[in-house]
A and B are shown apart, each in its own frame.
Chain A
Amino acid sequence: MIRVQEEDFDLGAELKAMSAGKTSIGGLCSFVGLVRDMAGDAEIGAMTLEHYPGMTEKALEEIETEAHARWPLDATLIIHRYGRLEPGDQIVLVAAASAHREAAFEACHYLIDFLKTRAPFWKLEDTADGAKWVDARASDDAATARWAVKSGEE
């Protein structure tokens, strides 16, 4: 399931709802991304997340479908927020549930890596020097590319 929303989410309630009634699940792995108060040496007051309505949902659904094709998953969940966020706020939740922990851990990692390079979101940070668009990181591309190497080896 995917959700793109302005409002915050309750991690415990989301994970509980995700596994409710699915007693085949033996492990559930989740990752929560938070707003940091620093970017490099610059202090961040807050940030605004812009996205591409329509394409965002499509991209997240594709990432989720791909994860289900690669691992035996009982459930997955992606929640991504947009709008104005303060340091400490939750931005994103990805979670994967499977009969065994390996698939849950790997799929969770896969979901966040692909989300970072495929989902159309852009961060505008408030700094002492004014609002600045966050630059994409080469390390994020490398993190995504790693999965292609892995599947080639299998």
Chain B
Amino acid sequence: MKLLYFAWVRERVGGASEDIPRPDGVATVGDLVAWLAARGDGYAEAFEESSMVRAAVNQEHVDLSHPVADGDEVAFFPPVTGG
């Protein structure tokens, strides 16, 4: 799956994108958040307050219960502030 990070999530993680195989036991966005946070360092910092992080799967806004599949594009970012 392709992971994308934006704004302060990108800064804390230390990169804008990465390709990873879907980790074992990761079935939802929430599972993926927990798995990423457990990587530690910048990831832990980015996802420690998970209520502040929003997600999109295949470029649609989703919540933490949304499923993730192999090949999905999953993005994490703060609440949007355009306009």
Interface residues of A (CB under 8 A from B): 33, 49-52, 54-55, 58-59, 80, 91-92, 112, 115-124, 133-137, 140
Q: How far is the CA of A128 from the CA of B36 in the complex (A)?
A: 33
Q: Does the CB pair B83–A121 fall under 8 Å?
A: yes
Given contacts A55-B56, A133-B8, contact A120 B77 (CB under 8 A): yes
Given contacts A91-B83, A115-B83, A133-B8, contact A122 B59 (CB under 8 A): no
Q: Does the CB pair A80–B82 fall under 8 Å?
A: yes
In the complex, 25 of the A-B residue pairs with CB atoms within 8 angstroms, ordered by the A residue number, are A52-B77, A55-B60, A58-B59, A59-B59, A91-B82, A92-B83, A115-B82, A118-B61, A119-B80, A119-B82, A119-B83, A120-B6, A120-B75, A120-B77, A120-B80, A120-B82, A121-B81, A121-B82, A122-B7, A122-B77, A122-B78, A133-B8, A133-B81, A136-B78, A140-B83
Q: How far is the CA of A55 from the CA of B76 in the complex (A)?
A: 12
Q: Does the CB pair B56–A52 fall under 8 Å?
A: yes
Which residue of chain B has its CB nearest to the CB of A56? B82
Residue numbers in A under 8 Å from B77 (CB-CB): 52, 120, 122
B79 at the interface (CB under 8 A from A): yes
B4 at the interface (CB under 8 A from A): yes
Residue numbers in B under 8 Å from A116 (CB-CB): 80-83
The binding surface of chain A is classed by DSSP as mixed
Seed contacts A112-B83, A120-B56, A124-B7; 10 additional CB < 8 Å A-B pairs: A52-B77, A55-B56, A92-B83, A120-B82, A121-B82, A122-B6, A135-B79, A135-B81, A136-B79, A136-B80
In the assembled complex, how far is the CB of residue B56 from the closest CB belonging to chain A, in whole angstroms? 6
Give the interface residue-count category, chain B.
10 to 19
Q: How far is the CA of A117 from the CA of B80 in the complex (A)?
A: 6
Q: How far is the CA of A35 from the CA of B29 in the complex (A)?
A: 34
In the assembled complex, how far is the CB of residue A87 from the closest CB belonging to chain B, in whole angstroms? 16
Residue numbers in A under 8 Å from B81 (CB-CB): 116, 121-123, 133-137
